[in-house]
Amino acid sequence: MGKRSRQIRRLTRQEFLLMSAGAGAGLALAGCGGGSQNNPAVQGQGGSGGGGTEYTGPTVELAFWNGFTGGDGPFMRELVDQFSSEHENIQVSMSTQEWADYYESVPAAVRGGEGPDVGIMHSDQLGTNAARGVILPLDTVAESLGLEESDFAPEVWNAGIYNGQRFGIPLDMHPLALYYNKSLLEDAGLDPNSPPTNRDDYEAALEELKSSGIQGSWVSPFPFTGTLQFESLLWQFGGDLYDEETSKATFNSDAGVEALTWMVDLVQNDYSPRDVAQDAEFIAFQNGENAFHWNGIWQINAFKEVSDLDWGVAPLPRIGSEDAVWSGSHNFVIMQTSDQNRIDASQVFINWISQQSIEWARAGQIPARASVRESQEFADLQEQSTIAEQVPYVRFVPAVPGIGDVQPESFDQAVNEAVLLQKEPKTALDEAAQRADQILEENREKYEA
């Protein structure tokens, strides 16, 4: 009963053998140095290699790990295959596992010398992995690739910096959005082409839907999508998750209570069923039982595959006093190694994919580079570019080390307890904030020690 099976797609035996055979023992030896934060080999490498755009060394096999288990995985795999076929001396093999497992196994794999060369990490994971010596500083990479702050959304760009050094090359942003079922709106006598944009309209629409027998806005008590909705609302009501120094939780402010109360009221007012299970709001939307669904941009392709579903997507309505929306961001990282050839080849790979980010946008992402976002090709991706209208006010979880430990122990639980009507929003948030403060304190001690 304690058996635990993990949904990992490990390297296949063949991939692993190829990797070790092709590249010699470099990888295995390279990983032994874990723990040090600054790798001199990387710091001094500015002039070597092809400056990040060209690699002329011996053939290397790069392992690229990520958590693209959804509809985005095949898009990335195709890009990787294309890259490998265009580069004689760099072969990349991609492995995918669930994000939660990925963040657990990558540090151990890198430390054990069997980790990947290149990986993807969310912006709020960069601080943790930088502090733990899992990933390398990439200032010189960013420089040699000619990446500039002005080309990126400032919050995304800054999230990659830890202790004054850059650790991540931003690939995309993936905010929350409002998916709506056009047929349900039409049946309720609403305009299927103009979804609500503010609180009054949203609530009025829900009332209309209710009178036509539809619970219009299912609220999930789980992190996906309940917590994402809570975070967006918290920011909309003018609150924030933590204080300026990320040393104290502030999500139990009046704004937080208002945000969570609004979600609970959706349940109390019968706009959402009680006890929504994991993914039930998503399934109900696909089945035409849920009219408004707050979910991430990454679901575009999933909904496109559902025949008979007449849907649209829009920026989140403004429920609070200002525009705001939760967003995550994928970043390229290079894992700890002292093998210069691998670092050079990894740079070439990152640069190449980064330039194909319009292809990646098709997978359901907003490119991190402004130049790509402003291109005609991106404007042609109707859903993606609609969601990208939110870019001026996207908000991110701060990237301080250990921040990933706080959420599951604090506001994830508060949202769960409140939405399942087990606790009052304020009580749940106050208790969660107390717990969050303890973890933040622990983390400060831990990472500053």
Partner 1 sequence: MATQGVERTGVQPPVARSAGGGRKPTDAGTFTPYLFMAPYLVLFVVFVLVPAVFGIWISLHNWDYLLPGKPWVGLENYLDLFTPNSANSTPFWNSMEATAKFTLFSVPPLVVIPLLVALILNQSFRGRNFFRAVYFAPYVLGVAVIGILWRFILDPNNGLLNYYLGALGLPDSIPWTTSLPWGWVALVGPTVWWTMGFNAVIYLTGLQDVDPALYDAAKVDGANRWQRFRHVTVPGLRPVFLFVVTTTILASANVFGQSYIITQGAPGNETRVAIWYIAQEGLRSFNMGSAAAMSYVLALALALVSLANFALLRYKED
List interacting residues with partner 1 (CB under 8 A).
Answer: 1-7, 34-36, 100, 103-104, 107-108, 111, 131-134, 221-222, 273-278, 280, 283-284, 287, 402, 404-405, 408-409, 413, 416-417, 420, 422-423, 435, 438-439, 441-442, 445-447, 449
Q: Is 100 left (phi over 0), alpha (psi -120 to 50) or beta?
A: alpha
Beta strands 118-122; 60-66: pairing state = parallel
Q: In whole angstroms, how close is the CB of 24 to partner 1 at the nearest point?
A: 26
Instruction: Report how far residue 342's alpha carbon sits from residue 283's, in angstroms, rounded to the nearest whole number.
Output: 43
Nearer to partner 1, 4 or 13 (CB): 4
Q: In whole angstroms, how close is the CB of 261 to partner 1 at the nearest point?
A: 18
Instruction: Report how far residue 271's alpha carbon sits from residue 294's, in angstroms, rounded to the nearest whole number.
Output: 14
Closest CA to 220 of 277, 175, 169, 165: 277
Give the relative orientation of helices 411-419 and 228-236 as an angle to the nearest 10 degrees.
Answer: 100
Q: In whole angstroms, how close is the CB of 246 to partner 1 at the nearest point?
A: 16
Nearer to partner 1, 34 or 216 (CB): 34
Q: In whole angstroms, how close is the CB of 126 to partner 1 at the nearest point?
A: 15
Nearer to partner 1, 363 or 420 (CB): 420
Q: In whole angstroms, how close is the CB of 209 to partner 1 at the nearest point?
A: 17
Q: In whole angstroms, how close is the CB of 35 to partner 1 at the nearest point?
A: 5
Q: In whole angstroms, how close is the CB of 189 to partner 1 at the nearest point?
A: 26
Q: In whole angstroms, how close is the CB of 12 to partner 1 at the nearest point?
A: 20
Distances (CA, A) of 20 to 64, 88, 180, 348, 349: 14, 18, 49, 21, 19
Nearer to partner 1, 50 or 273 (CB): 273
Nearer to partner 1, 33 or 192 (CB): 33
Nearer to partner 1, 249 or 366 (CB): 249
Q: In whole angstroms, how close is the CB of 132 to partner 1 at the nearest point?
A: 4
Instruction: Report how far residue 313's alpha carbon sits from residue 180's, in angstroms, rounded to the nearest whole number.
Output: 6
Nearer to partner 1, 28 or 421 (CB): 421
Nearer to partner 1, 128 or 331 (CB): 128
Closest CA to 126 of 449, 439, 408, 398: 398
Q: In whole angstroms, how close is the CB of 280 to partner 1 at the nearest point?
A: 4
Examine residue 69 and say whether the peptide bond preceding it is cis (omega within 30 degrees of 0).
Answer: no
Q: In whole angstroms, how close is the CB of 335 to partner 1 at the nearest point?
A: 12
- State CA 102 to chain mean position distance: 13
Nearer to partner 1, 27 or 134 (CB): 134
By the 8 A CB rule, do 389 and 380 touch?
no
Nearer to partner 1, 210 or 435 (CB): 435
Nearer to partner 1, 151 or 437 (CB): 437
